Amino acid sequence: MSTPDDKPLKMFLIPCSCGTTFTVAENYDRQGTAWSRYLTCPNCEKRHDPKNRLLQLGYQSDGFWKVDKC
């Protein structure tokens, strides 16, 4: 049972044009330098700026995931 203090479940995803989607931590942009924020796709090694590609999914009480922010 959830309480008002519970944080909603969220996932932060980066889609790549090669078809791979990979996750990042919620605080990915609060660590390191501006250059280190570019993430490498684990499949094709393309570099992505998460600020331009980040999908935020939130878990809905109905039992499914929904895009919260793009």
Give SS3 for 49. coil
- Which token pair is 11? 């996932």
The pTM of this model reads: 0.66
Average pLDDT over residues 61-67: 88
Closest residue by Cα to residue 54 from 13, 1, 16: 13
Is the pLDDT at 33 greater than 70, yes or no?
no
Domain coordinates of the chain in residue numbers? Answer: 10-69
Q: What is the pLDDT of residue 3?
A: 57
pLDDT per residue as tens digits for the range 37-51: 688 889 999 988 877
Closest residue by Cα to residue 42 from 18, 25, 10, 11: 18
Give SS3 for 44. coil
Residue 6 pLDDT class (50, 70, 90 cuts):
confident
